[in-house]
Amino acid sequence: MSATLRRLATLLAVLVALPVLPAHAATPSIPDRIATGWQTDRIFVDSRIAPAIPTTELDRIRAESERAGFAVYVALVPRTPYLREKLYDLPTLLQARVGQPGLYIVRVVSDDYWTGVEQLFRPGGLKGRDITSVRADDPQRRQIVDDRPAPQIVRTIQQAETAYDGRPLPPAPASDLKPPRRADTPSITDQEDRAAFIGLGVGGFAGFVLVLVLNRRRRRPATRPKADEPTAYRDQIRQQADQLIRRAARSIRQLEKRPNLSLTQLDQRDDANRRLEAARTLRADQPDDLLAVTGALVLARQAQQAVGGTVKPPCFFDPTHRTGTTRVAWADGVEVPACRTCAQRLHKGKTPYGLQVSRSTGLLGRGREVVPYWTLDPEDSPMVASGFGALTDDLAERVCKRPEDVR
Ligand SMILES: [Zn+2]
């Protein structure tokens, strides 16, 4: 990150850490404020983050919007508890308020990275190629930088253009791409960046509580003896994940073939695609990581469930178990979903065995020990931080927004 970007990121982090607007009746809702803003300018920037966004970024978004050949509505907003729940509904809510066809893009900033959703509404309800499938075919989709808003938005507009009239997707400029992945340890700069955002990065109060709980658990002595990396087990989970990914993709294709999908079915399809893409990301990026292949298994299973309309949380203790149908009290008043077997163990006062992972020990990190996954540092993995989505149902979002941080 350049010095300017780092300053921008720090400023954003400070702004986002400010208390959010209280949800009293006098405050217009987020969709209302955005829709009102769009009456004068189709690029809406929330006043809380406006000072931190360079005009060059906005100029670039504006220029690309004007080239599109359809209306492009863009909203740049800070992450709030409302958005954590409603983000994926926002394009539909906004289009209902504006009443015009076009591309609706909402980008949310949290700490130093941008994430978001978009939806393309064609005139007269015409159907065409889905923007999600264009993105899935875009080989550069995961290389676009996300520490400033314009590159991802410009790419989204280009993907929508391809979906709209089939024009070819241009290559993204090199200045919009992340540097190639390093196989070695993180640089000093990365470590500084990460240190600067500790305490802000986990996303709200639930995350904060979780970190406290997990940190407390981590201090307890490991109960498992040293052991080898469970590779056979990992390979087995990987196979299951691949099978579930294929099955979910097939279900989504079948859903898409049905004529006249309702709004609810379209939402279910989008939710399924989001989870499936995250599953594929984990599988492609970290084929040898037990946490990643297990995360892929959970997300693929949920993608399949999303097609049917009911997504279930995994068993917190071991996400490869049957889904977490029972809520059980875990540490410090935190409730977690558990499968029936794990719930029964807890009722007997025993700790479920849990998904075991290998971690390095000792000063030089040369020793290995096998521990329950929830004793690992939540900062290091979205799977640990979200309990594979059992604690907060945002694993897909966490995986797709910054794959370079996923371990
Ligand atoms: Zn279980």
Which tens digits make up the pLDDT trace of 215-257?
444 434 333 333 444 677 888 899 999 999 999 999 999 999 9
How high is the pLDDT of residue 224? 37
Say how many Å lie between the CA of residue 49 and the centre of ligand 1.
42
Say how many Å lie between the CA of residue 314 and the centre of ligand 1.
8
How high is the pLDDT of residue 122? 84
Neighbours of 347 (CB within 10 A): 10
The pLDDT tens digits of the residues spanning 79-111 come to 877 777 678 788 888 999 999 999 999 998 876
Say how many Å lie between the CA of residue 308 and the centre of ligand 1.
23
Residues with CB under 5 A from ligand 1 (ion): 315, 317-318, 321, 339, 342
Look over the chain and give the mean of its residue pLDDT values, rounded to a whole number: 80
3-176 CATH fold: Diaminopimelate Epimerase; Chain A, domain 1 (3.10.310)
300: pLDDT strictly greater than 50:
yes
Kindly indicate the confidence band of residue 138, based on its pLDDT and cuts at 50, 70 and 90. confident
Task: Work out whether the CA dihedral 221, 339, 296, 268 comes out positive or negative.
Answer: negative
How high is the pLDDT of residue 351? 85
21 token code pair: 């607007």
Backbone angles phi, psi at 311, to 5 degrees: -90, 130
Do the Cβ atoms of 378 and 202 come closer than 8 Å? yes
Say how many Å lie between the CA of residue 145 and the centre of ligand 1.
37
Say how many Å lie between the CA of residue 236 and the centre of ligand 1.
17
Say how many Å lie between the CA of residue 266 and the centre of ligand 1.
32
336: pLDDT strictly greater than 70:
yes
Kindly indicate the confidence band of residue 203, based on its pLDDT and cuts at 50, 70 and 90. very low
How high is the pLDDT of residue 197? 36
Do the Cβ atoms of 351 and 338 come closer than 8 Å? no
> What is the Cα Rg of the chain in Å?
22
Say how many Å lie between the CA of residue 318 and the centre of ligand 1.
5
Rounded average pLDDT over 55-60: 95
Say how many Å lie between the CA of residue 342 and the centre of ligand 1.
4
Say how many Å lie between the CA of residue 349 and the centre of ligand 1.
15
Say how many Å lie between the CA of residue 328 and the centre of ligand 1.
11
Residue ranges per structural domain of the chain = 3-176, 202-405
Say how many Å lie between the CA of residue 60 and the centre of ligand 1.
49
72: pLDDT strictly greater than 60:
yes
Say how many Å lie between the CA of residue 222 and the centre of ligand 1.
20
Say how many Å lie between the CA of residue 269 and the centre of ligand 1.
28
CA distances to 136, 189, 238 from 267, in Å: 17, 40, 28
Say how many Å lie between the CA of residue 319 and the centre of ligand 1.
7
